[in-house]
């Protein structure tokens, strides 16, 4: 009897039905935690697939075809779309200009965000109020902010806000958004981006500052590291991870500049010299015209994405190199 029951138990244990519950339990995890993780992560994964990875893949596919006024490829053209864009002097100049723009706006925005974060992190009263004041602009639409800058602050009129302030200090009226040899429009663009972005990155840096143990500053003060020395040898090294993330986000944002330029300068014939960013140029030649060649737009998107990846890899290499030097 016992031998028979043992045989039954052994057969039950070695059968697929006997292994299924244990496999299911391992998949569920303790108290079903894996299922909860999957339930919370699934919407984000689906969103990334639908709105990021699938469009990137489809744009890459379209870039090798002629697709006029349709998302379905019609004629295989190989690398002709890439050749056309790279031979276009306006597109090439926009890429070079925005490489320089990215190399300028990224450190300037980081320095301003870091300065505000350090100031507000040391405020003893009203800290939440001042953080909110500087963070609120990040909730403003780029389109709305660009229209306010264009129509109210820098409209070029005699009684516009910027020109009125210039005359108060003995200056002359400026045509802020006109082309030619007038490069004052960069002041308009940079001031708009700083107003919109500094508050967001300030919050990220404050979060990084709050992770630095207070004991570290106490030990540094005992060793005589105060003021600039504390910033250079204690704060900035402790903010390395946050700094890398902020710089990467700023770099991507610089190459994705679109809304503010399109609404500051308007249509295809109103841009000053070298002021048209790559994405606006792609929009105007692939969607804004009569041809509407989405294959051409897809090729331009891949080129810009490749530049972002290239700059990101260069930034990572520089950070890793500095870390290796510090370890030595």
Express each pLDDT in 128-169 by its tens digit: 888 888 999 999 988 899 888 888 888 877 777 888 888 888
Q: What is the pLDDT of residue 271?
A: 57
Question: What digits encode the pLDDT tens for the residues 275-292?
Answer: 667 777 777 776 655 567
172 vs 326, residue with greater confidence: 172
Q: What is the pLDDT of residue 12?
A: 45
Q: What is the pLDDT of residue 13?
A: 45
Q: What is the pLDDT of residue 45?
A: 92
User: Residue 10: pLDDT band by 50, 70, 90 thresholds?
Assistant: very low
Q: What is the pLDDT of residue 15?
A: 44
Question: What digits encode the pLDDT tens for the residues 27-47?
Answer: 666 766 777 888 888 899 999
Residue 114 has pLDDT above 90, yes or no: yes
Q: Which of 13-22, 245-254, 299-308 is the least confident region? A: 13-22
25 vs 80, residue with greater confidence: 80
Instruction: List 76's β-bridge partners, or say none.
Output: 65
209 vs 19, residue with greater confidence: 209
CA distance 195 to 233: 29
Q: What is the CA radius of gyration of the chain?
A: 28
Give, as one character, the DSSP assignment of residue 149.
Answer: I
Rounded to 5°, angle at Cα 83 from 250 and 54:
55
Q: What is the pLDDT of residue 9?
A: 46
CA distance 147 to 155: 10
238 vs 324, residue with greater confidence: 238
Residue 328 has pLDDT above 80, yes or no: no
Sequence-distant (≥ 6) Cβ neighbours of residue 62 within 8 angstroms: 71, 73, 294, 295, 298
Residue 7 has pLDDT above 50, yes or no: no
Give pairs for 179-185: CB < 8 Å, separation 24+.
179/270, 179/271, 179/272, 179/273, 179/275, 180/272, 180/273, 181/273, 182/272, 183/272, 185/264, 185/265, 185/272, 185/275
Q: What is the pLDDT of residue 291?
A: 63
Residue 1 has pLDDT above 80, yes or no: no
Rounded to 5°, angle at Cα 115 from 112 and 119:
140
Q: How high is the mean pLDDT of the chain?
A: 80
Superfamily holding 80-139+197-327: MetI-like (1.10.3720.10)
Nearest CA among 135, 239, 123 for reference residue 197: 135
83 vs 169, residue with greater confidence: 83
């Amino acid at each position: 009897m016992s031998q028979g029951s043992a045989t039954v138990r052994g057969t039950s244990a070695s059968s697929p039905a006997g292994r299924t519950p244990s496999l299911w339990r391992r998949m569920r995890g303790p108290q079903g935690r894996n299922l909860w993780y999957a339930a919370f992560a699934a919407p984000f994964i689906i969103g990334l697939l639908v709105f990021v990875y699938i469009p990137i893949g489809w744009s890459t596919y379209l870039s090798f075809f002629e697709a006029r006024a349709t998302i379905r490829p019609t004629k295989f053209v190989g690398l002709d779309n890439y050749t056309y864009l790279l031979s276009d002097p306006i597109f090439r100049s926009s890429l070079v200009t925005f490489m320089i723009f990215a190399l300028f706006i990224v450190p300037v925005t980081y320095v301003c965000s870091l300065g505000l974060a350090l100031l507000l992190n040391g405020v003893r009263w009203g800290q939440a109020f001042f953080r909110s004041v500087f963070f609120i602009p990040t909730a403003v639409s780029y389109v709305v902010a660009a229209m306010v800058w264009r129509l109210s602050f820098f409209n070029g009129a005699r009684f516009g806000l910027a020109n009125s302030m210039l005359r108060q200090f003995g200056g002359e009226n400026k045509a802020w958004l006109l082309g030619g040899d007038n490069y004052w429009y960069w002041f308009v663009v940079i001031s708009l981006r700083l107003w919109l972005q500094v508050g967001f990155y300030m919050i990220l840096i404050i979060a990084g500052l709050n992770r630095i143990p207070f004991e570290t500053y106490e030990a540094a003060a005992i060793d005589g590291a105060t003021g600039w020395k504390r910033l250079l040898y204690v704060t900035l090294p402790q903010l390395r991870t946050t700094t890398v993330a902020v710089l990467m986000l700023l770099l991507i944002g610089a190459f994705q500049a679109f809304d503010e330029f399109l609404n500051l300068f308007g249509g295809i014939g109103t841009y000053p010299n070298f002021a048209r960013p790559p994405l606006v140029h792609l929009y105007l030649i692939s969607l804004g015209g009569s041809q509407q060649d989405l294959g051409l737009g897809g090729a331009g998107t891949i080129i810009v994405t490749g530049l972002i990846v290239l700059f990101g890899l260069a930034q990572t290499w520089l950070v890793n190199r500095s870390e290796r030097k510090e370890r030595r």
